[in-house]
Structure 1
Amino acid sequence: MMKRSLVAVASAALLCLPLAACGGSDDTASDSGSGSGASSGASSSLDLVKSGTLTVCSDVPYAPFEDFDKSSATGFKGFDVDIVSQIAKGLGLKLVISDQDFDGLQSGLTLNAGTCDLVASALTITDDRKKNLEFSEGYYDSEQSLLVPDGSSITSIDDLDGKKVGVQQGTTGKDYATEHASGASIVSFPSDAEEFSALKAGQVDALLQDLPVNLTHQQAGGYQIVQKFDTNEEYGLAAKKGNTALIDAVDEQLDAMKSDGTYKKLYNTYFKVS
């Protein structure tokens, strides 16, 4: 897969070109306006939790992909939120977003419970997850990264021996830290918000997780990314295993967004090509 250098808005750090995990409560918000695009007949053929509504679950906050925003129509904002908003519009569906725990999202439990139709939560496509989820085509490429406080003696993953490394449970970041952070104590947290709070409090020495999220922390000041790891990760939207009709419809919308320039416009809202 071809990749180019990217720069997150307001940051000089590099990202990978998009084509490729997130705290959770039970807040929901809806967009009362349905958009144009697919006919009501087409959307009615989809296996949805609620007729006429695309119910999307996401683990919030995980900026810049998903975050809370009381001023928005859905109550949420972010790259993933914009993507699914366009998909719902194209399918002629009302959009409802629900904040759910990431572990349940990546395992398929939340979808199997009928809580939502689609997961949009910076979810990396993996062979293991494919056993329980139906994935869309990839829509964003990402890397892992190591974040430390300014002035830290940690300059790479090789310096983590005897250190505490914060990760989010159920994520590929945790998998990478477990495999590669030799001698480190891996401390798992339910969400990015909690692990970043632990870093600020000095309870862990570093965070290992998705690059765009660590970039957001770096931009706020006081922290720096000391190493990036090219793991060939690609994010996808996910539906209940077997719900190929919904995934086919989602893929059609993603392809249309890429063809008409909508995807590029949304992407450049959060990231820009250097």
Structure 2
Amino acid sequence: MNKWKKIVGVGIASILLTVGALGCSTASKETSSSGDNKAETTGGTLKAIKDRGKLIAGVKYDTNLFGLKDPADNQVKGFDVDIAKAIAKDILGDENKIDLKEVTSKTRIPMLKNGDIDIIVATMTITEERKKEVDFSNVYFKAGQSLLVKKDSPITGIQDLDGKTVIVVKGSTSATNIKKKAPKAKVTEYENYAEAFTALKAGKGDALSTDNAILLGMQKQDPNFKLVGGLFTDEPYGIAVRKGDKEMLDEVNKVIKNLQDSGEYDKIYEKWFGEKPQK
């Protein structure tokens, strides 16, 4: 009897081991196939870009002058878009070998970390907090935070915000800066710049605060608004890559330097902002 129990026990154990091995194999295949649509592969971002023949760049769709979807032709256009295209051209030899994916200030880092995009080129200020999650390129645009108000507004600067409602975008550095500079102001956050500007136009806030270059784009869309207060922060923009991705970071920095050295950067800047960048 004990002999038969032993034989049956060995047989069951053998079956369980076989099923377990098959399960592991299936799980491994499922994990592999689920990552096929991601931007990141085990070979690194640069290799993934070359293998697929396309750069996947996260850009804004609602930020005039930097990344704005034109309803006339459904194309996304702006300074950041042109910089991203220059990176695609350097890697793949053709600026059109690019897939522009919409990001917001709130979604851009998660999308990069999840492998949905290869890089972030989206008016992203370099901060110590963000450096914990991504690696930044050298500065490719210098901006500073300012205020956008209606033309007849009595607000002239940060000192006039006590008791006022200031509109900002979620995930940006603007809210933190306003709370530091004007602690008696009320801060209201919106999902993106389009919603924020619509709220300002609807009178849901007294001022909208973000980087001056972004506000300039809004002002060009609607001349009933004006920029006030000068610059009360320093907002250096960087292009973000996944943490520890030195090969991709070196590639991006190389492109930025080449654009600046060749004078092409100045041409792109002047195309969008109507003047050459201050040196």
Q: Could you say which residue in structure 2 is the equivalent of 1:149?
A: 150
| Alignment counterpart, residue 100 of structure 2, candidates 97, 100, 104 | 97
For the aligned residues, what is the CA RMSD? 2.1
Q: Could you say which residue in structure 1 is the equivalent of 2:231?
A: 229
CA distance, structure 2, for counterparts of residue 242 and residue 69 of structure 1: 35
Shift of 1:70: 5.7
Pairing 1:239–2:217 present: no
- Classify the secondary structure of the residue corresponding to 2:233: strand
Give the number of the structure whose alpha-carbon radius of gyration is greater: 2
Q: Could you tell me whether the CA contact under 8 Å between 2:55 and 2:118 is conserved in 1?
A: yes
Relative distance call for 1:215 and 1:101 in structure 2 (3 A) is: closer
Relative distance call for 1:246 and 1:70 in structure 2 (3 A) is: farther
- Code of the residue aligned with 1:66 in structure 2: it is G
Q: Could you say which residue in structure 1 is the equivalent of 2:261?
A: 259
Q: Could you tell me whether the CA contact under 8 Å between 1:49 and 1:114 is conserved in 2?
A: no
Q: How does 1:11-160 map to 2 (within 5 A)?
A: 46-48=47-49, 51-69=52-70, 75-92=75-92, 94-105=97-108, 108-160=109-161
Shift of 1:218: 2.3
CA distance, structure 1, for counterparts of residue 107 and residue 244 of structure 2: 18
CA distance, structure 1, for counterparts of residue 204 and residue 146 of structure 2: 19
Aligned identity (percent) is 33
Shift of 1:181: 1.6
- Classify the secondary structure of the residue corresponding to 1:202: coil
- Classify the secondary structure of the residue corresponding to 1:228: coil
- Classify the secondary structure of the residue corresponding to 1:249: helix
Bigger RCO (CA 8 Å, 6+ sep): 1
Count, aligned residues: 229
Q: Could you tell me whether the CA contact under 8 Å between 1:169 and 1:188 is conserved in 2?
A: yes
Structure (1 or 2) with the greater strand fraction: 1
CA distance, structure 2, for counterparts of residue 48 and residue 110 of structure 1: 16
Q: Could you say which residue in structure 1 is the equivalent of 2:18?
A: none
CA distance, structure 1, for counterparts of residue 170 and residue 50 of structure 2: 27
- Classify the secondary structure of the residue corresponding to 2:106: helix
Q: Could you say which residue in structure 1 is the equivalent of 2:195?
A: 194
Shift of 1:182: 2.6
- Code of the residue aligned with 1:97 in structure 2: it is L
CA distance, structure 1, for counterparts of residue 162 and residue 45 of structure 2: 55
Structure 2: give runs of 5+ residues left out of the alignment. Answer: 1-43
Q: Could you tell me whether the CA contact under 8 Å between 1:58 and 1:102 is conserved in 2?
A: no
CA distance, structure 2, for counterparts of residue 269 and residue 203 of structure 1: 33
CA distance, structure 1, for counterparts of residue 47 and residue 125 of structure 2: 24
Shift of 1:51: 2.4
Q: Could you tell me whether the CA contact under 8 Å between 2:63 and 2:214 is conserved in 1?
A: yes
- Code of the residue aligned with 1:192 in structure 2: it is Y
